[in-house]
Amino acid sequence: MSLPRIAVDAMGGDEGVRVMIEGAALARRDHDKFKFLLVGDKARIEAALENHPNLRAASEILHCEDVVGGDELPSKAIRRAKSTSMGLAVNAVKTGDAGAAVSAGNTGALMAMSKLALRTMPGIDRPALAAIMPTLQAHDVVMLDLGANTEADARNLVQYAVMGAAYSRIVNGFDKPVVRLLNIGTEEIKGTEELRDAAAMLTAASAGGELALQFDGFVESDKINRGETHVVVTDGFSGNIALKAIEGSARFVTDLLRQAFTSSLRSKIGFLVSRPATELLKHHLDPNNHNGAVFLGLNGVVVKSHGSANAKGVAHAVAVTARLLENKLTERIAQDLSRLGEGALRQNAPTATPKDSEAPA
């Protein structure tokens, strides 16, 4: 049975068609069984494909000239979903013309379009935006929610834990990932009522063997990248702030090192001596090596690439998409939720509708 193809919004991102096509071509070298639906301006896509005959042979082009603006409100983008490259890429997943969509465009618009077109899976109240980040260990850490919903109750957090664990099993290969809730302290009495209730639910379900994860209480933000936790769960407001703080710290460190190594002749000589170590650090902190955030909990796979990603970063996002399709992410989440059972989710949560105020920056 052939694998479902991947729809690529070729017009999204800062660099547009050239980088998106080059990234898809790089990813296909390791995932050559996949075919692609390239959505965007046909003339520009065909010009970019001239340098990538392998991708051209495995691709179909869906012509579209309209693009979602980087600062466009999600509510406006939704109304233009049938005429934009982003909207058509997501719609291809809805209609079954593709198994997944990848875009480097406006995050809030992509989130809103995906929610509206694909809806949430049975047993999921709200989707979550999940990403992988580097750690001091050999594995990455999965973190969610990073901005799909600004608020989350205990029921939502438990669902995020189930989805994040399923994602971690695919990208990191853990049978039972260690899951912790982000909190202001590790003591059981710390945090909001929602956090404490979610911890109680996860503790009971984990001890009872219903979940394919190990719940291990709370984690503070300064421990996210230590590698002691495989999945960090939080609400979208806190998660987006934590993510931006981590990304800002990484840029601060690299900029500080650059300044230090260029401040004098002695520093420049020191840079040459320490170059192997600094190159390793640069590789570890390069966001292109961890690119590709996933909207978990939808009836289909949608992956968000950084708008500033280079071809290597786009390739990583497309490769993540391919692995999620190969390993049947949505089916894994559905199976885990069925094992958990509705009895473990004792709270009721309202179904959220996309709002401009909820769109992550």
Strands 178-182 and 128-133: unpaired
**pLDDT value at residue 249:** 74
pLDDT, tens digit, 9 for 90 and up, residues 275-333 = 565 555 555 556 667 788 899 999 999 999 888 888 889 998 999 999 999 999 999 89
pTM to 2 decimal places? 0.83
Phi–psi pair at 313, nearest 5 degrees: -65, -45
Task: Give the CATH H-level superfamily of domain 128-288+332-358.
Answer: Isopropylmalate Dehydrogenase (3.40.718.10)
List residues bridging with 219 in a β-sheet. Answer: 182
In which residue are the tokens 């708008």 written? 307
User: Is 142 in a helix, a strand, or coil?
Assistant: strand
Please name which of 8, 103, 24 lies closest in space to residue 311, comparing C-alpha atoms.
24
Q: Are 294 and 167 in contact (CB under 8 A)?
A: yes
Q: Where are the domains of the chain?
A: 6-124+297-326, 128-288+332-358
Tell me whether the CATH fold assigned to 6-124+297-326 matches the one assigned to 128-288+332-358. yes
How far, in Å, are 4, 27, 61, 234 from residue 35 at the CA level?
8, 11, 11, 35
**pLDDT value at residue 101:** 95
DSSP code, position 117: H
How far, in Å, are 28, 147, 171, 296 from residue 329 at the CA level?
20, 20, 10, 9
Candidates 3.20.20.150, 3.30.1330.10, 3.40.718.10, 3.30.565.10; CATH matching 6-124+297-326: 3.40.718.10
Indicate the burial class of 263 (C-beta count within 10 angstroms; 0-12, 13-18, 19 or more).
Answer: exposed
pLDDT, tens digit, 9 for 90 and up, residues 103-114 = 998 888 999 999
**pLDDT value at residue 22:** 92
- Residue-by-residue pLDDT tens, the chain, 361 positions: 477 899 999 998 777 899 999 999 999 988 888 899 999 999 999 999 998 998 999 999 999 988 998 888 988 989 998 999 999 999 999 999 999 999 998 888 999 999 999 999 988 998 999 988 888 887 889 999 888 888 889 999 999 999 999 999 998 888 889 999 999 988 888 888 999 999 999 998 877 776 788 899 999 988 988 888 999 999 988 888 888 887 777 777 767 767 766 777 666 666 565 556 555 555 555 666 778 889 999 999 999 988 888 888 999 899 999 999 999 999 989 888 887 765 555 544 444 444 554 455 5
**pLDDT value at residue 268:** 64
